[in-house]
Amino acid sequence: MHEYSIVQSLLESCEEHVKDNDAKEVTKVIVKIGVLSGVEPDLLQTAFDTFKEHTVCNDAQFIINHQKVVIECFDCNTTSTLEKNDFCCPICESVKIKVIDGEDMYLMSLEMN
């Protein structure tokens, strides 16, 4: 499960941010996970809850925002959010599209004391 290595990197990043900002702890961690990222949100939550103990995130709330797939259509020049995994434009049904969001995982924000 690569979620464990993701959490390890996330916790290391939190440690660095706390140090760089002269804070004591992280109280909230917010991440955005795209549905095409390959990251399983439930496993990520479990991994975070398991490994946060005795770190600057010990009492931190972990919030996961789920990002649907967002596409740009080259034929009708629209941007759309896909509600299902039909990789075509919901406006004109073209398959000449580019995925512009929903493939990655991002650390969106940290709250620190």
Output the known binding site for Zn(2+): 73, 76, 89, 92
Centroid of chain to Cα 72: 20
HSE-CB of 38 using CA atoms within 13 angstroms: 3
The annotation places the binding site for Ni(2+) at 2
Provide the residue type at 111 as one letter.
Answer: E
Could you list the residues known to form a binding site, using ranges.
2, 73, 76, 89, 92
